[in-house]
Structure 1
Amino acid sequence: MRKKERQLITIGLVVLFAAIAWWAYNGHASPGVVLNLGDNSTNTTETYQLAVSDLSATVDQATGHVLVAFKLTNEEHFNISSVQVLHALNVADPNNATYTALNATAENGTYKAEIPSKFGDAVYYKVKVVYDGNKTLESEVQSITVKDTTAPTLNSVSIDYNSTALTFAISFNATDNDQIAKYYVYWADLGTSNTVSNTTTFTAINATTSPVTIANLTEGNYYAFYFKVEDLSGNKAMLYNETAPLVIQANSSATWPQVYPEAVNQSSS
């Protein structure tokens, strides 16, 4: 092949490939043509921020302790050396108080700590995290008042009649998750009738200890009763009531003490 012919063929091939490239560049490449026109990808750097989330506190009604729970956002991207709950009780200035540290334990991604408080306490708490050496993260100070919302249980009363002193001694079978503060007896002298009417007036007496004594009774008379107990937080429980009271007779021939009721009729009030 002559040199001139070879040059013509070379020029033709160059023109052909140039035409193909132009055709592909303008979006006309056929499915059978694969063109790699360069890698336009860019490198990006992601940043993560460690944060305390879902911070909450609840009161354990059995103990009065405060249970704190929370999560740490993006914790997998940091070298965390300690997670603590700092707490202070009944302080005047929570921002300048001395806080006690409790180690928080993790379970299924949630951190928990139990603050040993009691009913009536004002609890201040915050989360402290040490990570990546000596870096620290602290949440804002939160607070909760430890309230007892559980009513006492009044199961029964035991009544003992002293025919010599003409008194009733009423003992309460009652329990509470915290402490019973007051015992109430509401009573009325029905005379020789054992029926309560709309005009029956009850007298209320209360005491901080049980038994409660009712004096100046009359042998043979009937007496109507209902009862309440109250805990330190003001929660109450009642046994019988004004419209359906317990009616008993001051009778020296009966067997005493007597326990009421056989079936508990209890409600809160």
Structure 2
Amino acid sequence: MRKKERQIITVGLILLFAAIGWWAYHGGGGGFVDITNALSGNSTSTTTYELAVSNLLATVDQATGHVLVSFQLANEEHFNISSVQILYALNVADPNNATYTALNATAENGTYKAEIPSKFGDVVYYKIKVSYNAGKTLESDVKSITVKDTAAPTLNSVSINYNSTAGTFSIDFNATDNDAIATYYVYYADLGTSSTVSNTTTFTAVNATSLPVVISNVTANNYYAFYFVVEDISGNKAMLYNETSPYIVQANATATWPVVVTEQSSS
């Protein structure tokens, strides 16, 4: 091969590599990079890379009600990525036309993460937005998750206070929840002069969103059977005693009130 021909081939290869580099940097459009091997004579093999969101996962932090989103980007090493964000909206009627708030995702060992500041009861809509290759954008489909509390409340004890003058029971709950107690339930039955329940005993339910729960028209010296339930805003419940084994107390004005009821209390 003559010197001039070798020079022409060398210049051609330099231009080819420059073109391939430009194509790889600018991504070829739509999240793809195509690199064609033109150095092997008749070879037409092509390597194609697609930038894509993978392993997308959303979980609810049971301590805070926040949604934790994590994901990975397939083939990100072949793209010049400038920003990775999670866009979210809360409780919107139309997620496809909603205004989204952007959170910057942080990367750790190849996994991107962000924490959406939601609360229990929210419906969270979210999507991933990636900016790359000087102005190109990859945006995922909208996903959703309902922020549901899965932890049941704790019902530690109940305090029953009898007012013989007013003929009422006033009942307070010592209960806790990782979010909030929504409803307090008192189930009671007037047993009359008997201190035991039977298969025909009927319980009346009284519920309230604040304390105390008051039961009126209490007959002096009658026996009353109780059991108690608390429910949080996600529908989780905790119970103290039950319909077949209730707590029984007499409406006796001379007894010491209030009576503190725990699971270990004897009737």
TM-score w.r.t. the length of structure 1 is: 0.78
**Between Structure 1 and Structure 2, whose CA radius of gyration is higher?**
1
Displacement after TM superposition at 1:149 (Å):
2.6
Q: Residue 54 of structure 1 corresponds to which residue in structure 2?
A: 55
Q: Residue 191 of structure 1 corresponds to which residue in structure 2?
A: 192
* 8 A Cα contact 2:184 2:208, kept in partner: yes
Matches within 5 A, 1:130-209: 130-209=131-210
**How large is the RMSD of aligned CA atoms in angstroms?**
2.3
Q: Residue 18 of structure 1 corresponds to which residue in structure 2?
A: none
Q: Residue 22 of structure 1 corresponds to which residue in structure 2?
A: none
Deviations 1:227-261 (A, max 9, x none): 11122222222111000000111122222112111
Matches within 5 A, 1:9-48: 46-48=47-49
**Matches of 1:185 and 1:171, distance apart in 2:** 10
- 2:108 counterpart of 1:107: yes
Secondary structure of the corresponding residue to residue 76 of structure 1: helix
Runs (4+) off by over 6 Å: 39-44
Q: Residue 241 of structure 1 corresponds to which residue in structure 2?
A: 242
Displacement after TM superposition at 1:44 (Å):
6.2
**Matches of 1:59 and 1:121, distance apart in 2:** 11
**Matches of 1:261 and 1:153, distance apart in 2:** 12
**Matches of 2:254 and 2:77, distance apart in 1:** 79
Where in structure 2 are there 5+ consecutive unaligned residues? 1-39
Identity of aligned residues (%): 76
Q: Residue 68 of structure 2 corresponds to which residue in structure 1?
A: 67
**Matches of 2:95 and 2:218, distance apart in 1:** 57
Number of residue pairs matched by the alignment: 227
Displacement after TM superposition at 1:195 (Å):
1.0
* 8 A Cα contact 2:88 2:116, kept in partner: yes
Q: Residue 15 of structure 2 corresponds to which residue in structure 1?
A: none
Displacement after TM superposition at 1:117 (Å):
1.4
* 8 A Cα contact 1:81 1:130, kept in partner: yes
Letter in 2 for 1:130: S
Letter in 2 for 1:148: D
Q: Residue 30 of structure 1 corresponds to which residue in structure 2?
A: none
* 8 A Cα contact 1:155 1:264, kept in partner: no
Secondary structure of the corresponding residue to residue 234 of structure 2: coil
* 8 A Cα contact 1:190 1:196, kept in partner: yes
**Matches of 1:189 and 1:238, distance apart in 2:** 20
* 8 A Cα contact 1:156 1:264, kept in partner: no
Structure 1, 219-228 or 44-53: larger mean CA deviation: 44-53
